[in-house]
Amino acid sequence: MKSLFIILSELNSKQRIQKAVRHLNDAILLRAVRHDIDSPIQRKSVVFIYNWQTNIIWNEILFLTSFIYPMLSFFEEIVDQSQIYNKIFVCEIGFLNVFLFDLFLETFHRFFDKDKQLVDSFIYNHKYLQKVLIFFVILADFIYYLNSFPKNIIRFGKYIRPFLVLFYSKELRRTFQSIIQSLKEIIQLIILVLLITFFFAIIGWKFIGDLDNQSNFQNITIASNILYSLISFDGYPDCMMPAYSKYLLQYIQNYIDKKLDYSVFYIIYFLSYLILYLLIFIPIPVAVVFEAFRVKIQFSIYIQKHIIFFLPNNKKKNSRSKLVIMDRIKQKEALLACFVSLDFSESK
């Protein structure tokens, strides 16, 4: 607060209103408050770059660019001399330049942050370090690809591209963090799915077997793969046909003779597996992530109604509560700076 009052004493009425508007945007976007930007001794280039890098329009452009960039992987062709390849190559260079320019802007204005030390601005800023690491891995992949041209190589950077969008969208970043925090429950669910699939594979291997000398139930491993293809609809309904084909003529004869049709048991087998997974197991991962969101929102409402003092070294608080508390502290600091900036002239 001392630095806030020192800065406000050096500003005129119009500048204090501009500062209040900036802090209101900080509260909306849950950004950290910086008072050195408004200092008269601060370099104009730093102020200009900070306003550019934190501008809402510029961040929307970055989000759109990071969303489109991974989609280029679907249009990359094996033939490097095609016309489509040349256009994609130019687009990739343009996208990388946009990300590099934004990284330069952020590094520049963080370097001149007078309220923080360089260690706090760069080394202890995990989001900044992760962004730099992912970007330079993608850039190294692109440079290695250029040096290997025209030889075709595997672009490992295309598998990392989707992570860029997390740094330009707070909502997606919070969603990803909720998924990570729910990873234990999701892994337990995957293990349960594998056990159920293994159980059904044993049933199929023992009771269906190799019906037409080319069935996929000749052993447990292949039976498990076929059941996975069934619930993913990759081979649906082809994977069920061998179980029916052997009894097709028998089905017709039994229908004429009004006898018991054994293919009904195979229909029950496949349908029970489909219903179990499509109606029970598939919605559970979504419910796990939704539950993580619900807990975080309830905790956020609790924080808004109660005064909670955040201690970074308190090991009793989990990572989810720390994220929520830090967001609320940033928001309250920004709103306090906004109100003080508007009321400063009357309070002197």
What's the alpha-carbon Rg for the chain, to the nearest Å? 30
Q: Which of 272, 182, 199 is nearest to 230 (CA)?
A: 272
Q: Which of 82, 107, 90, 276 is nearest to 196 (CA)?
A: 276
- 293-312 pLDDT tens trace: 666 666 555 555 554 444 44
pTM for this predicted structure: 0.63
Across the range 73-82, mean pLDDT stands at 64
pLDDT of 260 strictly over 50 = no
Across the range 185-203, mean pLDDT stands at 84
Residues whose CB is less than 8 angstroms from the CB of residue 283 and which lie 6 or more positions away in sequence, other chains included: none
So what's the pLDDT on residue 154? 75
DSSP structure string for 22-62: HHHHHHHHTPPP-SGGG-TTS-HHHHHHHHHHT-HHHHHHH
Who has greater pLDDT, 288 or 225? 225
Residues whose CB is less than 8 angstroms from the CB of residue 266 and which lie 6 or more positions away in sequence, other chains included: 208, 240, 243, 244, 247
Across the range 128-147, mean pLDDT stands at 89
So what's the pLDDT on residue 77? 61
So what's the pLDDT on residue 94? 93
- 5-26 pLDDT tens trace: 777 777 778 888 888 888 888 8
pLDDT of 235 strictly over 90 = no
pLDDT of 255 strictly over 60 = no
DSSP state of 168: G
Listed range (61-70, 228-237, 318-327) with the worst mean pLDDT: 318-327
Who has greater pLDDT, 121 or 102? 102
Q: Kindly state the tokens that stand for 301.
A: 């409402």
Who has greater pLDDT, 337 or 243? 337
Give me the percent of the chain exceeding a pLDDT of 70.
69
Cα distance between residue 287 and residue 282, in whole Å: 9
DSSP state of 236: T
So what's the pLDDT on residue 86? 75
pLDDT of 28 strictly over 50 = yes
